[in-house]
Amino acid sequence: MLVGPAEAEDVLSAVVVRILARQSLSDLDDPRSYLYRSVTNEARTLQRWRGRRLPRTNTSVLPTDVEPEILDAVLDLPPRQRAAVYLAYWRDLPMVEIAQLMGCSPGSVKRYLHIARNKLGKVLEP
C-alpha cells in the first residue's frame, strides 16, 4: 500500500540489505514491527529523495468492492495516513497493533486517522 509496484522491490531490497547487515534480529522485542517500520521509513525516504509523491500503489491488496473515487482519495494520502487507514479499515486491526506495526504510539495512529478522515471528507464530499 505504501509504494507502487515499480518501487516495491527496491524498497523491500533496501530494507532486507539493512536487516542482513545487522546480522541478528534476536535482540529485537518485535521483529515483525521492526520490519513494518523499516519498510514505512524506507518508503518515506524514497519519497523525500525523489521530491514527489510516490506513484499509485498496487491496488490488488484492496477489496474489489471499493469505489474508484474512494480508492483514489486514499491513495492520495501521505504514506503514514494511508497505512493507518489501510490497517484500520481494510485489515480491521486494533489501534495497539497498528501502532506496533507502524512504530508509533496509539495516539499517533488516532491522529493519522483523524487527519486522513478530514482529508477524505473534504475530497469525497459532493
Its domain, for residue 75, covers 5-124
Rounded distance between C-alpha atoms, residue 93 and residue 53, angstroms: 26
What are 98's three cell numbers? 497498528
Give me the CATH number covering residue 17.
1.10.10.10
What pLDDT shows up at residue 85?
92
What pLDDT, in 10s, does the model give residues 44-100?
787 776 665 544 555 555 566 778 788 888 888 888 898 899 889 888 999 999 998
Structural domains in the chain (count)? 1
For the whole model, what pTM was predicted? 0.57
